[in-house]
């Protein structure tokens, strides 16, 4: 079974926090340093696509409060999310995860469908996809790499 780590994101309302989990390889002394580097790069890329504040990261070996600040933007609402769909590269199994408080101004939307984010925008989303795919593994098999298939903005009043 793959390991699962989480990121907690603070919305503009102090009591509202959202979490998203990432399946990844099982951590060992042989791979923990490389994984932590890849994870940290992914969270930097994540920060570029959200309005919320990354409040906490939880990895089996890392439980770190990153910030207790509120976001600067009133638009950082947990009701608005990016629904990320990804596929196991070997099995073809399909999975999803949600990222709360997206920064819509930082994202390039697909032409013809304003609810889907352009994954290859040569900007913050492309960087996030690259960094996320470096750590993302199938929830069913910790050795199976995954590819992000789409990112759709979902939530109330979109």
Give per-residue burial for 77-89: e unless 16+ CB within 10 Å, then b.
bbebbbbbebbbe
Q: Is the pLDDT confidence value at 124 over 90?
A: yes
The domain limits of the chain are 3-155
Q: Which of the four pLDDT bands, split at 50, 70 and 90, describes residue 22?
A: confident
Q: State the pLDDT at residue 65.
A: 72
CB 85 within 8 A of CB 147: no
Name the token pair of 55. 């409040």
DSSP letter assigned to residue 156: T
CB 146 within 8 A of CB 89: yes
Q: State the pLDDT at residue 64.
A: 62
Q: State the pLDDT at residue 19.
A: 87
| pLDDT average, residue stretch 114-123 | 93
pLDDT digits (tens, 9 = 90+) for 51-83: 999 999 888 665 567 788 888 888 888 889 999
Question: Chain centroid to CA 92: how far?
Answer: 20
Q: Taking the complete model, does pTM exceed 0.85, yes or no?
A: no
**For residue 22, what are the CA distances in angstroms to 17, 97, 113, 114, 155?**
17, 8, 26, 26, 20
Among 3-17, 27-41, 87-101, 143-157, the range with the most confident prediction by mean pLDDT is 87-101
Q: Rounded distance, CA 78 to CA 21, Å? A: 15
Closest CA to 130 of 34, 67, 41, 64: 41
156 against 51, higher pLDDT: 51
111 against 146, higher pLDDT: 146
The edge-to-edge listing of strands for the beta sheet with 3-10 is 17-24, 3-10, 53-59, 62-65
Quote the mean pLDDT of the chain.
Answer: 89
pLDDT digits (tens, 9 = 90+) for 89-110: 999 999 999 999 999 999 999 9
| pLDDT average, residue stretch 36-58 | 93
């Amino acid at each position: 079974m793959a390991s699962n780590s989480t990121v907690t994101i603070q919305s503009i309302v102090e009591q509202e926090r959202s979490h998203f989990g990432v399946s990844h390889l099982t951590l060992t002394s042989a791979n923990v340093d490389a994984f932590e580097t890849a994870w940290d790069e992914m969270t930097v890329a994540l920060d570029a696509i959200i309005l919320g504040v990354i409040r906490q990261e939880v990895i089996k070996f890392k439980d770190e409060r990153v910030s207790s600040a509120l976001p600067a933007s009133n638009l950082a609402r947990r009701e608005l999310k990016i629904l990320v769909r990804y596929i196991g590269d070997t099995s073809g199994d399909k999975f999803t995860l949600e990222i709360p408080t997206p920064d819509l101004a930082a994202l390039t939307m697909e032409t013809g469908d304003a609810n889907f984010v352009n994954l290859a925008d040569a900007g913050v989303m492309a960087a996030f996809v690259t960094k996320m795919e470096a750590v993302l593994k199938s929830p069913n098999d910790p050795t199976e790499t995954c590819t992000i298939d789409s990112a759709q903005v979902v939530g109330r009043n979109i």
